[in-house]
Structure 1
Amino acid sequence: MSGCFISLEGGEGVGKSTQMRRLAETLRARGKTVVETREPGGSPGAEAIRALLLHGSGDRWTPRAEALLFAAARADHVARTIRPALAAGQYVLSDRFLDSSLAYQGGADGIGAEAIRALHLIGSEGLLPDRTLMLTLPAKEAAARAAARDREGADRFGARDAAYHSRVMASFLALAEAEPDRFRVIDALGEPPEVTDRLIAALDDLL
Protein backbone atom coordinates (compact mmCIF):
# COMPACT_ATOMS: atom_id res chain seq x y z
CA MET A 1 0.00 0.00 0.00
CA SER A 2 1.36 3.39 -0.97
CA GLY A 3 -1.13 5.62 0.82
CA CYS A 4 -1.25 6.73 4.46
CA PHE A 5 -3.87 5.69 7.00
CA ILE A 6 -4.52 8.02 9.95
CA SER A 7 -7.13 7.47 12.64
CA LEU A 8 -8.46 9.96 15.17
CA GLU A 9 -9.47 8.53 18.53
CA GLY A 10 -10.65 9.62 21.94
CA GLY A 11 -13.66 9.70 24.21
CA GLU A 12 -16.93 11.55 23.74
CA GLY A 13 -16.77 15.31 23.18
CA VAL A 14 -13.05 15.67 22.45
CA GLY A 15 -13.61 17.14 18.99
CA LYS A 16 -12.55 14.33 16.66
CA SER A 17 -15.06 15.12 13.92
CA THR A 18 -14.23 18.83 13.88
CA GLN A 19 -10.51 18.20 13.85
CA MET A 20 -10.76 15.56 11.14
CA ARG A 21 -12.44 18.08 8.83
CA ARG A 22 -9.79 20.69 9.60
CA LEU A 23 -6.98 18.19 9.15
CA ALA A 24 -8.39 17.07 5.80
CA GLU A 25 -8.55 20.70 4.63
CA THR A 26 -4.93 21.27 5.67
CA LEU A 27 -3.68 18.13 3.92
CA ARG A 28 -5.57 19.01 0.73
CA ALA A 29 -4.00 22.47 0.81
CA ARG A 30 -0.65 20.66 0.80
CA GLY A 31 -1.60 18.75 -2.34
CA LYS A 32 -2.69 15.47 -0.75
CA THR A 33 -5.68 13.47 -1.97
CA VAL A 34 -7.71 12.78 1.16
CA VAL A 35 -10.55 10.37 1.93
CA GLU A 36 -12.57 11.25 5.05
CA THR A 37 -14.41 8.38 6.65
CA ARG A 38 -15.78 7.21 10.00
CA GLU A 39 -16.63 4.28 12.22
CA PRO A 40 -18.97 2.69 12.57
CA GLY A 41 -19.68 3.40 8.92
CA GLY A 42 -17.62 4.48 5.95
CA SER A 43 -19.16 2.09 3.39
CA PRO A 44 -22.78 1.27 2.50
CA GLY A 45 -22.77 -1.99 4.44
CA ALA A 46 -21.03 -0.46 7.45
CA GLU A 47 -23.44 2.51 7.47
CA ALA A 48 -26.35 0.08 7.70
CA ILE A 49 -24.73 -1.53 10.73
CA ARG A 50 -24.05 1.93 12.22
CA ALA A 51 -27.79 2.55 12.48
CA LEU A 52 -28.17 -0.70 14.42
CA LEU A 53 -25.34 0.17 16.81
CA LEU A 54 -26.07 3.81 17.61
CA HIS A 55 -29.85 3.84 17.90
CA GLY A 56 -32.24 2.13 20.26
CA SER A 57 -32.19 1.46 23.98
CA GLY A 58 -28.97 1.29 25.94
CA ASP A 59 -29.34 -2.43 26.43
CA ARG A 60 -30.32 -3.20 22.84
CA TRP A 61 -27.11 -5.22 22.39
CA THR A 62 -24.86 -7.07 24.76
CA PRO A 63 -21.20 -6.02 24.73
CA ARG A 64 -20.26 -9.19 22.82
CA ALA A 65 -22.96 -8.58 20.22
CA GLU A 66 -21.71 -4.99 19.87
CA ALA A 67 -18.15 -6.24 19.37
CA LEU A 68 -19.28 -8.57 16.59
CA LEU A 69 -21.30 -5.82 14.88
CA PHE A 70 -18.40 -3.37 15.04
CA ALA A 71 -16.04 -6.01 13.61
CA ALA A 72 -18.46 -6.75 10.76
CA ALA A 73 -18.89 -3.05 9.97
CA ARG A 74 -15.12 -2.56 10.05
CA ALA A 75 -14.50 -5.51 7.73
CA ASP A 76 -16.75 -3.96 5.08
CA HIS A 77 -15.27 -0.49 5.67
CA VAL A 78 -11.72 -1.79 5.22
CA ALA A 79 -12.52 -3.83 2.12
CA ARG A 80 -14.72 -1.28 0.34
CA THR A 81 -13.19 2.06 1.34
CA ILE A 82 -9.88 2.01 3.16
CA ARG A 83 -7.79 -0.54 1.25
CA PRO A 84 -8.81 0.77 -2.22
CA ALA A 85 -7.93 4.33 -1.20
CA LEU A 86 -4.56 3.29 0.22
CA ALA A 87 -3.80 1.28 -2.91
CA ALA A 88 -4.48 4.44 -4.92
CA GLY A 89 -1.92 6.36 -2.86
CA GLN A 90 -4.45 8.45 -0.95
CA TYR A 91 -4.48 9.70 2.63
CA VAL A 92 -7.30 8.08 4.61
CA LEU A 93 -8.56 9.89 7.71
CA SER A 94 -10.94 7.87 9.87
CA ASP A 95 -12.98 9.19 12.78
CA ARG A 96 -12.45 6.09 15.01
CA PHE A 97 -11.11 2.66 14.09
CA LEU A 98 -10.02 -0.51 15.91
CA ASP A 99 -8.80 1.31 19.02
CA SER A 100 -12.35 2.44 19.80
CA SER A 101 -13.45 -1.19 19.93
CA LEU A 102 -10.46 -1.99 22.14
CA ALA A 103 -11.31 0.89 24.49
CA TYR A 104 -15.11 0.53 24.59
CA GLN A 105 -15.91 -3.16 24.24
CA GLY A 106 -12.46 -4.52 25.07
CA GLY A 107 -11.72 -2.24 28.03
CA ALA A 108 -14.80 -0.50 29.43
CA ASP A 109 -17.08 -3.49 28.80
CA GLY A 110 -14.49 -6.02 29.95
CA ILE A 111 -14.35 -8.30 26.91
CA GLY A 112 -10.59 -7.96 26.68
CA ALA A 113 -8.18 -6.88 23.96
CA GLU A 114 -7.35 -10.40 22.83
CA ALA A 115 -10.93 -11.15 21.73
CA ILE A 116 -11.29 -7.79 19.93
CA ARG A 117 -7.99 -8.25 18.11
CA ALA A 118 -9.00 -11.79 17.08
CA LEU A 119 -12.19 -10.44 15.50
CA HIS A 120 -10.17 -7.74 13.74
CA LEU A 121 -7.72 -10.30 12.39
CA ILE A 122 -10.58 -12.33 10.91
CA GLY A 123 -12.62 -9.42 9.58
CA SER A 124 -9.99 -6.89 8.51
CA GLU A 125 -6.80 -8.96 8.27
CA GLY A 126 -5.30 -7.02 11.16
CA LEU A 127 -5.00 -3.69 9.32
CA LEU A 128 -3.74 -0.87 11.56
CA PRO A 129 -3.36 2.86 10.94
CA ASP A 130 0.06 4.30 10.18
CA ARG A 131 -0.62 6.90 12.88
CA THR A 132 -3.31 7.20 15.53
CA LEU A 133 -4.00 10.67 16.90
CA MET A 134 -5.68 10.43 20.30
CA LEU A 135 -7.35 13.62 21.45
CA THR A 136 -7.66 14.18 25.18
CA LEU A 137 -9.55 16.62 27.38
CA PRO A 138 -10.23 16.90 31.12
CA ALA A 139 -13.33 14.85 31.92
CA LYS A 140 -15.49 17.86 32.85
CA GLU A 141 -14.62 19.72 29.65
CA ALA A 142 -15.28 16.66 27.51
CA ALA A 143 -18.64 16.07 29.22
CA ALA A 144 -19.66 19.71 28.70
CA ARG A 145 -18.75 19.58 25.01
CA ALA A 146 -20.57 16.27 24.55
CA ALA A 147 -23.68 17.67 26.25
CA ALA A 148 -23.65 20.72 23.95
CA ARG A 149 -23.23 18.45 20.92
CA ASP A 150 -26.02 16.11 22.02
CA ARG A 151 -28.73 18.64 22.88
CA GLU A 152 -31.19 16.71 20.70
CA GLY A 153 -30.23 13.42 22.32
CA ALA A 154 -27.09 11.35 22.67
CA ASP A 155 -26.55 8.04 20.90
CA ARG A 156 -26.37 4.76 22.84
CA PHE A 157 -22.71 5.31 23.72
CA GLY A 158 -22.79 9.01 24.51
CA ALA A 159 -25.68 8.43 26.90
CA ARG A 160 -23.68 6.12 29.18
CA ASP A 161 -22.63 7.33 32.62
CA ALA A 162 -19.44 9.11 33.69
CA ALA A 163 -17.93 5.97 35.20
CA TYR A 164 -18.21 4.20 31.85
CA HIS A 165 -16.55 7.07 29.99
CA SER A 166 -13.80 7.17 32.59
CA ARG A 167 -13.06 3.48 31.90
CA VAL A 168 -13.01 4.23 28.16
CA MET A 169 -10.42 6.98 28.57
CA ALA A 170 -8.29 4.83 30.87
CA SER A 171 -8.33 2.13 28.19
CA PHE A 172 -7.36 4.61 25.46
CA LEU A 173 -4.43 5.90 27.51
CA ALA A 174 -3.23 2.35 28.16
CA LEU A 175 -3.35 1.61 24.43
CA ALA A 176 -1.33 4.74 23.65
CA GLU A 177 1.26 3.83 26.28
CA ALA A 178 1.58 0.31 24.85
CA GLU A 179 2.11 1.48 21.24
CA PRO A 180 4.08 4.75 21.34
CA ASP A 181 5.32 4.35 17.76
CA ARG A 182 1.79 4.45 16.36
CA PHE A 183 -0.01 6.73 18.84
CA ARG A 184 0.36 10.43 19.43
CA VAL A 185 -1.57 11.87 22.38
CA ILE A 186 -2.90 15.34 21.52
CA ASP A 187 -4.12 17.97 23.98
CA ALA A 188 -7.51 19.08 22.59
CA LEU A 189 -7.83 22.18 24.80
CA GLY A 190 -7.71 25.53 23.04
CA GLU A 191 -9.07 27.02 19.85
CA PRO A 192 -9.60 24.64 16.90
CA PRO A 193 -6.69 26.06 14.82
CA GLU A 194 -4.29 25.47 17.74
CA VAL A 195 -5.38 21.85 18.03
CA THR A 196 -5.06 21.34 14.28
CA ASP A 197 -1.50 22.65 14.42
CA ARG A 198 -0.73 20.02 17.07
CA LEU A 199 -2.16 17.30 14.85
CA ILE A 200 -0.07 18.42 11.87
CA ALA A 201 3.07 18.48 14.03
CA ALA A 202 2.29 14.91 15.13
CA LEU A 203 2.16 13.85 11.47
CA ASP A 204 5.30 15.63 10.34
CA ASP A 205 7.23 12.45 9.62
CA LEU A 206 4.41 11.10 7.41
CA LEU A 207 3.91 14.21 5.25
Structure 2
Amino acid sequence: MTNGAFITFEGIDGAGKSSHIDALAQALRAAGHTVTLTREPGGTPLAEKLREMLLHDSMDALTEALLVFAARRDHLRCVIEPALARGEVVLCDRFTDATFAYQGAGRGFDLEVLSYMERLAQTGVGLQPDLMRSPDLTLWFDVPPEVAAQRLSAARAPDRFESQPVEFFTRVARGYADRAAGAPQRFARIDSSQPREQVAAQLRAVVAARGWLAQTP
Protein backbone atom coordinates (compact mmCIF):
# COMPACT_ATOMS: atom_id res chain seq x y z
CA MET A 1 0.00 0.00 0.00
CA THR A 2 1.29 3.46 -0.86
CA ASN A 3 1.92 6.08 1.79
CA GLY A 4 -0.38 9.02 2.39
CA ALA A 5 -4.17 9.11 2.23
CA PHE A 6 -6.40 9.22 -0.82
CA ILE A 7 -9.78 10.95 -0.31
CA THR A 8 -12.24 11.37 -3.17
CA PHE A 9 -15.29 13.63 -3.46
CA GLU A 10 -18.23 12.25 -5.43
CA GLY A 11 -21.79 13.23 -6.29
CA ILE A 12 -24.01 14.37 -9.13
CA ASP A 13 -23.58 17.81 -10.65
CA GLY A 14 -25.13 20.34 -8.29
CA ALA A 15 -24.47 18.26 -5.16
CA GLY A 16 -22.15 20.94 -3.79
CA LYS A 17 -19.04 18.83 -3.27
CA SER A 18 -16.66 21.21 -5.06
CA SER A 19 -17.55 24.06 -2.72
CA HIS A 20 -16.31 22.04 0.28
CA ILE A 21 -13.09 20.51 -1.01
CA ASP A 22 -11.04 23.71 -0.57
CA ALA A 23 -12.21 24.10 3.03
CA LEU A 24 -11.20 20.53 3.86
CA ALA A 25 -7.80 21.07 2.26
CA GLN A 26 -7.27 24.13 4.47
CA ALA A 27 -8.35 22.24 7.59
CA LEU A 28 -6.00 19.34 6.80
CA ARG A 29 -3.09 21.70 6.19
CA ALA A 30 -3.81 23.44 9.48
CA ALA A 31 -3.66 20.00 11.12
CA GLY A 32 -0.14 19.51 9.77
CA HIS A 33 -0.82 17.50 6.60
CA THR A 34 0.69 18.20 3.21
CA VAL A 35 -2.24 18.21 0.80
CA THR A 36 -2.48 17.77 -2.95
CA LEU A 37 -5.78 19.13 -4.25
CA THR A 38 -6.78 17.91 -7.70
CA ARG A 39 -9.73 16.94 -9.87
CA GLU A 40 -11.01 14.59 -12.55
CA PRO A 41 -11.19 14.69 -15.42
CA GLY A 42 -8.08 16.84 -15.21
CA GLY A 43 -5.18 17.39 -12.86
CA THR A 44 -2.43 17.41 -15.52
CA PRO A 45 -1.97 19.50 -18.69
CA LEU A 46 -2.91 16.52 -20.86
CA ALA A 47 -5.88 15.53 -18.72
CA GLU A 48 -7.17 19.12 -18.66
CA LYS A 49 -7.20 19.13 -22.48
CA LEU A 50 -9.19 15.90 -22.43
CA ARG A 51 -11.53 17.44 -19.85
CA GLU A 52 -12.38 20.28 -22.23
CA MET A 53 -13.24 17.76 -24.92
CA LEU A 54 -15.38 15.72 -22.54
CA LEU A 55 -17.31 18.74 -21.31
CA HIS A 56 -17.94 20.41 -24.64
CA ASP A 57 -17.52 18.08 -27.64
CA SER A 58 -20.21 15.69 -28.84
CA MET A 59 -19.31 12.00 -28.48
CA ASP A 60 -20.78 8.63 -27.60
CA ALA A 61 -20.46 6.77 -24.30
CA LEU A 62 -17.53 4.61 -25.43
CA THR A 63 -15.51 7.64 -26.51
CA GLU A 64 -16.34 9.31 -23.20
CA ALA A 65 -15.12 6.32 -21.25
CA LEU A 66 -11.91 6.00 -23.25
CA LEU A 67 -11.08 9.68 -22.76
CA VAL A 68 -11.90 9.53 -19.04
CA PHE A 69 -9.57 6.59 -18.46
CA ALA A 70 -6.82 8.11 -20.61
CA ALA A 71 -6.99 11.27 -18.50
CA ARG A 72 -7.05 9.18 -15.31
CA ARG A 73 -3.96 7.20 -16.23
CA ASP A 74 -1.95 10.39 -16.84
CA HIS A 75 -3.33 11.85 -13.63
CA LEU A 76 -2.31 8.79 -11.62
CA ARG A 77 1.19 8.65 -13.11
CA CYS A 78 1.98 12.35 -12.84
CA VAL A 79 0.09 13.58 -9.76
CA ILE A 80 -1.69 11.06 -7.53
CA GLU A 81 0.89 8.29 -7.28
CA PRO A 82 3.85 10.64 -6.60
CA ALA A 83 1.89 12.59 -3.98
CA LEU A 84 0.86 9.42 -2.14
CA ALA A 85 4.44 8.15 -2.26
CA ARG A 86 5.54 11.39 -0.58
CA GLY A 87 3.06 10.72 2.22
CA GLU A 88 0.65 13.49 1.26
CA VAL A 89 -3.12 13.58 1.58
CA VAL A 90 -4.64 13.64 -1.90
CA LEU A 91 -8.07 15.24 -2.22
CA CYS A 92 -9.56 14.46 -5.62
CA ASP A 93 -12.79 15.95 -6.96
CA ARG A 94 -14.18 12.79 -8.64
CA PHE A 95 -12.42 9.52 -9.43
CA THR A 96 -13.39 6.10 -10.79
CA ASP A 97 -16.77 5.99 -9.01
CA ALA A 98 -17.84 8.90 -11.22
CA THR A 99 -17.08 6.87 -14.34
CA PHE A 100 -19.28 4.00 -13.20
CA ALA A 101 -22.02 6.44 -12.15
CA TYR A 102 -21.97 8.71 -15.21
CA GLN A 103 -20.85 6.57 -18.14
CA GLY A 104 -22.16 3.35 -16.56
CA ALA A 105 -25.47 4.14 -14.90
CA GLY A 106 -26.10 7.47 -16.61
CA ARG A 107 -25.19 6.55 -20.18
CA GLY A 108 -26.04 2.86 -19.79
CA PHE A 109 -22.54 1.73 -20.77
CA ASP A 110 -21.51 -1.87 -20.02
CA LEU A 111 -20.14 -2.06 -16.45
CA GLU A 112 -17.98 -5.08 -17.24
CA VAL A 113 -16.26 -3.17 -20.03
CA LEU A 114 -15.71 -0.25 -17.65
CA SER A 115 -14.16 -2.65 -15.14
CA TYR A 116 -11.81 -3.93 -17.84
CA MET A 117 -10.85 -0.35 -18.78
CA GLU A 118 -10.26 0.39 -15.12
CA ARG A 119 -7.80 -2.51 -14.80
CA LEU A 120 -6.09 -1.58 -18.05
CA ALA A 121 -5.65 2.13 -17.29
CA GLN A 122 -4.85 1.91 -13.59
CA THR A 123 -2.14 -0.75 -13.66
CA GLY A 124 0.87 -1.51 -15.82
CA VAL A 125 4.16 0.12 -16.71
CA GLY A 126 4.87 3.21 -14.64
CA LEU A 127 2.18 2.58 -12.04
CA GLN A 128 2.35 0.74 -8.75
CA PRO A 129 0.11 -2.38 -8.85
CA ASP A 130 -1.77 -1.28 -5.74
CA LEU A 131 -3.16 1.78 -7.51
CA MET A 132 -6.04 -0.52 -8.37
CA ARG A 133 -6.93 -0.20 -4.69
CA SER A 134 -9.89 2.00 -3.87
CA PRO A 135 -9.48 5.41 -2.27
CA ASP A 136 -9.10 5.34 1.49
CA LEU A 137 -12.30 7.37 1.83
CA THR A 138 -14.98 8.47 -0.61
CA LEU A 139 -17.18 11.35 0.49
CA TRP A 140 -20.46 10.91 -1.36
CA PHE A 141 -22.46 14.14 -1.53
CA ASP A 142 -26.00 12.82 -1.87
CA VAL A 143 -28.78 15.17 -2.92
CA PRO A 144 -32.12 14.68 -4.72
CA PRO A 145 -31.61 15.28 -8.46
CA GLU A 146 -34.42 17.84 -8.47
CA VAL A 147 -32.59 19.93 -5.84
CA ALA A 148 -29.33 19.64 -7.77
CA ALA A 149 -31.10 20.78 -10.95
CA GLN A 150 -32.40 23.88 -9.19
CA ARG A 151 -28.90 24.74 -8.03
CA LEU A 152 -27.45 24.27 -11.50
CA SER A 153 -30.10 26.49 -13.08
CA ALA A 154 -28.87 29.38 -10.93
CA ALA A 155 -25.18 28.74 -11.66
CA ARG A 156 -22.96 29.19 -14.70
CA ALA A 157 -23.84 28.18 -18.25
CA PRO A 158 -24.10 24.37 -18.20
CA ASP A 159 -21.63 22.04 -19.89
CA ARG A 160 -22.77 18.93 -21.79
CA PHE A 161 -23.16 16.93 -18.57
CA GLU A 162 -24.82 19.66 -16.49
CA SER A 163 -27.34 20.24 -19.28
CA GLN A 164 -28.64 16.66 -19.11
CA PRO A 165 -32.26 16.17 -17.97
CA VAL A 166 -33.19 15.25 -14.41
CA GLU A 167 -33.82 11.65 -15.51
CA PHE A 168 -30.13 11.31 -16.41
CA PHE A 169 -29.06 12.48 -12.96
CA THR A 170 -31.59 10.16 -11.35
CA ARG A 171 -29.77 7.27 -13.04
CA VAL A 172 -26.38 8.69 -12.03
CA ALA A 173 -27.54 9.05 -8.41
CA ARG A 174 -28.70 5.43 -8.48
CA GLY A 175 -25.28 4.47 -9.80
CA TYR A 176 -23.61 6.19 -6.86
CA ALA A 177 -25.97 4.47 -4.45
CA ASP A 178 -25.03 1.11 -5.97
CA ARG A 179 -21.33 1.89 -5.63
CA ALA A 180 -21.81 2.92 -2.00
CA ALA A 181 -23.76 -0.24 -1.23
CA GLY A 182 -20.93 -2.28 -2.68
CA ALA A 183 -18.23 -0.59 -0.60
CA PRO A 184 -19.84 0.65 2.65
CA GLN A 185 -16.51 0.66 4.49
CA ARG A 186 -15.11 3.19 2.00
CA PHE A 187 -18.10 5.42 1.31
CA ALA A 188 -19.36 8.06 3.72
CA ARG A 189 -22.70 9.57 2.73
CA ILE A 190 -22.97 13.33 3.17
CA ASP A 191 -26.51 14.72 3.11
CA SER A 192 -25.78 17.69 0.88
CA SER A 193 -29.39 18.85 0.77
CA GLN A 194 -28.72 20.44 4.17
CA PRO A 195 -27.50 24.06 4.66
CA ARG A 196 -23.83 24.63 3.88
CA GLU A 197 -22.76 24.81 7.55
CA GLN A 198 -24.39 21.47 8.35
CA VAL A 199 -22.81 19.84 5.31
CA ALA A 200 -19.41 21.14 6.40
CA ALA A 201 -19.96 19.74 9.90
CA GLN A 202 -20.87 16.30 8.50
CA LEU A 203 -17.78 16.35 6.34
CA ARG A 204 -15.42 17.30 9.15
CA ALA A 205 -16.91 14.69 11.49
CA VAL A 206 -16.33 11.91 8.95
CA VAL A 207 -12.73 12.94 8.29
CA ALA A 208 -12.05 13.36 12.02
CA ALA A 209 -13.42 9.89 12.70
CA ARG A 210 -10.77 8.51 10.32
CA GLY A 211 -8.05 10.22 12.38
CA TRP A 212 -7.00 12.90 9.88
CA LEU A 213 -8.49 15.81 11.86
CA ALA A 214 -9.07 16.50 15.54
CA GLN A 215 -12.54 15.67 16.83
CA THR A 216 -14.63 18.77 17.52
CA PRO A 217 -16.22 19.05 20.98
1:142 aligns with 2:148: yes
Between the aligned residues of both structures, percent identity stands at: 40
Kindly provide the amino acid, as one letter, of the partner of residue 70 in structure 2.
A
Q: Give the counterpart of 2:63 among 52, 62, 65.
A: 65
CA contact (8 A) 2:145 2:173 kept: no
Deviations 1:146-194, CA, capped at 9 Å, x for gaps: 11222xx211100111111110001111110111011111101333232
Kindly provide the amino acid, as one letter, of the partner of residue 59 in structure 2.
W
- Report the counterpart of residue 108 of structure 1 in structure 2: 106
In 1, the alpha carbon distance for the partners of 2:145 and 2:68 equals: 25
CA contact (8 A) 2:146 2:166 kept: no
Specify every segment of 5 or more residues in structure 2 that has no aligned partner in the other structure, as ranges.
124-131, 213-217
CA contact (8 A) 1:55 1:155 kept: yes
Kindly provide the amino acid, as one letter, of the partner of residue 142 in structure 1.
A
- Report the counterpart of residue 154 of structure 1 in structure 2: 158
4+ runs deviating over 4 angstroms: none
1:67 Cα deviation (Å)? 0.3
CA contact (8 A) 1:72 1:123 kept: yes
- Report the counterpart of residue 34 of structure 1 in structure 2: 35
1:127 Cα deviation (Å)? 4.2
**What TM-score, normalized to structure 1?**
0.93
Q: CA RMSD, aligned part only?
A: 1.2
Deviations 1:12-37, CA, capped at 9 Å, x for gaps: 10111111111111111111111110
Deviations 1:88-147, CA, capped at 9 Å, x for gaps: 000000110000100011112111322112111111122421111100112222111111
In 2, the alpha carbon distance for the partners of 1:188 and 1:43 equals: 29
In 1, the alpha carbon distance for the partners of 2:159 and 2:133 equals: 27
CA contact (8 A) 1:13 1:149 kept: no
- Report the counterpart of residue 48 of structure 2 in structure 1: 47
Q: Give the counterpart of 1:205 among 193, 210, 216.
A: 210
1:44 Cα deviation (Å)? 1.2
Kindly provide the amino acid, as one letter, of the partner of residue 171 in structure 2.
R
In 2, the alpha carbon distance for the partners of 1:165 and 1:139 equals: 6
In 2, the alpha carbon distance for the partners of 1:16 and 1:115 equals: 28
**What TM-score, normalized to structure 2?**
0.89
- Report the counterpart of residue 122 of structure 1 in structure 2: 120
Q: Give the counterpart of 2:168 among 164, 170, 191.
A: 164
In 2, the alpha carbon distance for the partners of 1:2 and 1:91 equals: 9
CA contact (8 A) 2:33 2:88 kept: yes
